[in-house]
Structure 1
Amino acid sequence: MASSEQSITASTAASLAAAIGAISVVGIGLGLSVPLLALEMEARGIPRTWIGLNTAMGGIATILLAPFMPRLVRQYGAGPMLIGAIVLAIATLIGFKATPSLAAWFVLRFLFGAALCVLFVVSEFWINAAAPPQRRGLVMGVYATVLSLGVAGGPAILGVTGIEGWAPYLAGAALFALGTIPVLIGANGAPEVHTESRLGMMALIRIAPSATLAGLIFGAVETGEMSFLAIYGLRRGLDEQTAALLMTMALLGGVACQIPLGLLSDRMDRRKLLLICAVVGVVGSLLLPALAMDGWAIRAVLFVSIGVVAGLYTVGLAHLGARFEGAELAAANAAFVMLYSIGLIIGPPMVGAGMDALDPHGFAYTIAALLGVYAVVVAWRIARVPRK
């Protein structure tokens, strides 16, 4: 019996390592490719409006494809889906360099976004399904931490290769290709979906609003902060280098907080932890206008508040894993990623409009408002349904 339990534990660990390893390597490629494509278009003199529209194609692809993901996973399997998505990502990344046509770049960006949608939905379903229930939060925290480190490492590689010539594109393609290795090794441990989900996207959102809406709000807050935090610093008198440091502190907070939050989520009602994450974000945002921009106090607030807010993604995914299984879990993960992508699209315009209305503190107030609305929804849910 002991050897059997040890074997099951080893099998589970290998399965988790395969999914986390694959998406983490892809994270490096993603962190490299997104700024690379933007800089390439900028160097070609393409207007920034068109650069933004091209970038948005990835989110549109996710929104359109995500509802079909459970059926595709059931038909083709998690392992083959990940391999196919990586191959598509490699082909489209090479295609960007091979053609100068902006119209072709819109098609390629849509296909690239579709590949990323498959990678994230399938890998997160795989991890959620394979994670032991009593350690699901920890596993999702490790996943989020390693992925964040991978995405952060992408621009560093770009700093070595530069943006000219084939070198950055080939480096990105090679990194994506490395993601196939752990998938091939752990393919036997991939979860399977044998039935079709009985629940549609809206039903999943109604059943688990705290978890699913966490993806939407975090997507909006994350892109709003990434787009305007440095600008907020500039508007309040910082130079470019010091303003960029604010973003560095925010990113470091996101990396540092995920494993502790994951561990905590294994020991308490995850809805209450999601509420705490949102409230910490509201308080942190409302403190920003009162703090000096060049002091360590504002950097500490950004590190803690944005780091804790990033827990919406980690804890939200863990909450889904605890609520659903099989086909419903695959559908729930797809809904989560779709809502996250919608957040990516709506976040920057909302925060930008807030800054235009109340320059510069509209940045902080808009972030606080987004998180505040989510906090109200979660508090209402906890009051109405005391138990999960």
Structure 2
Amino acid sequence: MHAPALSPPVNVASIAAAIAAISAVGLGLALSIPLLAFELHDRGVSSTWIGLNTAVGGLATIALAPFLPKLVRRIGAGPLLLVAILSAAVSLLAFKITPSFVLWFPLRFIFGAALCVLFVVSEFWINAASPNHRRGLVIGIYGTVLSMGFAGGPAILSLVGTQGWAPYLCGAAFFALAGIPVLIGAAGAPAIEEDHSGGGVWTLMRIAPAATLAAFIFGAVETGMINFLPLYGLRRGLDAGEAALLLTVAELGNVALQLPLGLLSDKVDRRRLLLGCGIIGVFGSFLIPHLAIDSWAMWIAAFFTTGIVAGLYTVGLALLGARFNGAALATANAAFVMLYSIGLTVGPTAVGGGMQLLDPHGFAWAIGAFLLLYVLVVAGQIWRDR
């Protein structure tokens, strides 16, 4: 790797465009995943099949992410983001008018591909704009905005409900609004260079396993949480609005904690911080089945567990940025998102299957098992590298 270069002056309109795009990603994921889960639940589809359908969005990212750097170089970040925003809005509306569950699979693939473009291109953008000495701070802000999008989705559901056209139209409208700053600022997007390093996903995992596995675990746990926490609430006696509100509380933990975790990551060993996040996540996940579903204790546990676990993404991305730069960072970032998406594919399937096997608490046991795996791997790596 080459010595890190000095960061260029920040183009505010350009950064605003990236922030708008990533807000759309968070909002689109957090609104669509529980909304579509509620829709399928109302149609009598099992939790396992709901998880499998959700996982198709991750497959779309896995298929598309390796080609995105080349697409951005050929098409440009701005036009590609606008096409993705339009595709996401149209496909979200199409779910409502598609009665056949079989057709939901190609629709989910299109929707997932659109979100993948928003996710990867915005993340290239943020990484290129992050000064090395304040990387944790910048990515903490990025994570906070992303988390605000995640929190906004279930908040909309709690306000407008999960029935009828209202939630679908709200989601499509937010995608459209995100296109405005993209139109204004995307011309200033950093260029993505050709990568001649030859490194791929497995090379990256060997060099920085704590960061890359964090992406996978976060994808599995966060998507499983968004998809099944509302259904978990329903099966423990909450109504649909209360279940969506519980998810909102959990996602507000992401909003509140990413900036402090990002700042902390600039001052301490990031691998040890990732280990601590994983340990707290394990404890919180295994605690949830023992708490009353409508209690303040449940809200507090959901808030801190979800917020700390989201630190795996924020701190993992900062650790990745500290290890790579230039074109290698762009390639590493694509691999990071791919691993996140593999988690997005595996997580809902495993959590849905766990919930079906041990109804309803298999939801929490499955999430805790993912986090326990991460803790064991990172602890082993730190022990070997002492």
Q: Would you call these one fold, judging by a TM-score over 0.5?
A: yes
Query: Where does residue 24 of structure 1 map in the other structure?
Result: 23
Structure 1 residue 97 displacement after superposition: 5.4
8 Å CA contact 1:22, 1:181 repeated in 2:
no
CA contact (8 A) 1:71 1:196 kept: no
Structural mapping, 1:137-156, within 5 Å: 137-156=136-155
Normalization by structure 2: what TM-score? 0.83
CA contact (8 A) 1:351 1:363 kept: yes
Mean CA deviation greater in 334-343 or 211-220? 334-343
Deviation per CA, 1:26-53: give whole Å up to 9, x if none. 533444444454555566x474466554
Looking at structure 2, the residues matched to 106 and 320 of structure 1 have their Cα atoms a distance apart, in angstroms, of 33
1:193 and 2:203 correspond: no
Instruction: Tell me which moved more, 340-349 or 122-131.
Output: 340-349
Per-residue CA distance 1:6-44 (angstroms, 9 max, x = gap): x964x344432221122214533444444454555566x
Report Cα offsets for 1:262-293 as digits up to 9, x if no partner.
Answer: 11112122112111101111222344455565
Taking structure 1 as reference, are residues 12 and 134 closer, same or farther at Cα in structure 2, changes over 3 Å only?
Answer: farther
Deviations along 1:53-101, one digit per CA (max 9) or x if unpaired, are 4433212111111222232233333333212222322343454456656
Matches within 5 A, 1:75-86: 75-86=74-85
Q: Which amino acid counterpart does residue 338 of structure 1 have in structure 2?
A: M
Q: Which amino acid is 1:336 matched to? A: F
| RMSD of aligned alpha carbons | 3.3
Alpha carbons 1:86, 1:115 under 8 Å: kept: yes
Q: Kindly report which structure 2 residues correspond to 1:269-280, keeping only aligned pairs within 5 A, or say none.
A: 269-280=269-280
Q: Give how far 1:130 is off.
A: 0.8
Structure 1 residues 231 and 185: CA distance shift in structure 2, 3 A? closer
Partner of 1:174: 173
**Aligned twin of 2:207:** 207
Distance 1:55 1:278, change over 3 A: closer
CA distance in 1, matches of 2:360, 2:40: 29
| TM-score of the pair, normalised by structure 1 | 0.82
Distance in 2 between residues matched to 1:28 and 1:228, nearest whole Å: 17
CA–CA separation in structure 2 for the residues paired with 1:187 and 1:290: 48
Q: Quick one: distance in 1 between partners of 2:360 and 2:45?
A: 25
Give 1:190's aligned amino acid: A
Instruction: State the alpha-carbon separation in 2 of the partners of residues 40 and 360 from structure 1.
Output: 19
**Structure 1 299/92 Cα, relative in aligned 2: closer, same or farther at 3 Å?**
closer
Distance 1:242 1:31, change over 3 A: closer
Equivalent residue number for residue 3 of structure 1: none
Q: Matched residues in 2 for 1:16 and 1:67: separation?
A: 23
Match of 2:318 in 1: 318
- What's the counterpart of residue 341 of structure 2? 341
Give yes or no for contact 2:93–2:172 (8 Å, CA) kept in 1: yes
Partner of 1:258: 258
Q: Are the equivalent residues in 2 in contact too, given 1:79–1:187 (CA < 8 A)?
A: yes
Deviation of 1:338 after TM superposition, in Å, equals 1.9
Equivalents in 2 of 1:259, 1:63: separation in Å? 28
Cα pair 1:78 1:126 within 8 Å, conserved: no
Letter in 2 for 1:128: N
Q: Residue in 1 aligned with 2:3? A: none
Judged with a 3 Å threshold, the aligned counterparts in structure 2 of structure 1 residues 373 and 136 are, in CA distance, closer, same or farther, namely: same
CA contact under 8 A between 1:86 and 1:177: conserved in structure 2? yes
State how far apart, in whole Å, the 2-side matches of 1:339 and 1:36 are: 25
The one-letter amino acid of 2:222's match is E
CA shift in 2, pair 1:219/1:276, >3 Å:
same
Q: Match for 1:344: what amino acid?
A: L
Tell me how far 1:152 sits from its aligned partner: 2.8
CA distance in 2, matches of 1:344, 1:160: 27
Q: Matches of 1:291 and 1:339 in 2, distance apart?
A: 32
- Alpha-carbon distance between aligned partners in 2 of 1:357 and 1:96, rounded to the nearest angstrom: 28
AA aligned to 1:60 is: L
Mapped partners of 2:100, 2:361: distance in 1? 40
Partner Cα separation in structure 2 for residue 92 and residue 233 of structure 1 = 28
Alpha carbons 1:70, 1:196 under 8 Å: kept: no
Contact kept, 8 Å, 1:83 with 1:180, in 2: the verdict is: yes
Unmatched 5+ stretches in structure 1 = 1-6
The answer to whether the Cα contact below 8 Å between 1:26 and 1:175 also exists between their aligned partners in 2 is: no
Q: After superposition, where does 1:38-187 map in structure 2 within 5 Å? A: 38=37, 45=43, 47-48=45-46, 52-96=51-95, 104-157=103-156, 159-160=159-160, 163-165=163-165, 169-187=168-186
Structure 2: 5+ residue runs without aligned partners? 1-6
* Inter-partner Cα distance in structure 1 for 2:368 and 2:361: 11
1:162-182 residue CA offsets vs partner (Å, 9 max, x unmatched): 7535x6555433322222222
Residue 126 of structure 2 aligns with an amino acid whose one-letter code is I
In 2, distance between residues paired with 1:306 and 1:33?
A: 19
User: Post-superposition shift, 1:210?
Assistant: 0.8
| Greater Rg by CA | 1
Which secondary structure state, in structure 1, belongs to the residue aligned with residue 268 of structure 2?
coil
**Quick check: 31-40 or 370-379, which moved more?**
31-40
> Is contact 1:67–1:201 with CA below 8 Å preserved after alignment?
no
Q: Structure 1: how far apart are the matches of 2:178 and 2:246?
A: 31
Cα 1:317/1:161, change in 2 over 3 Å = same
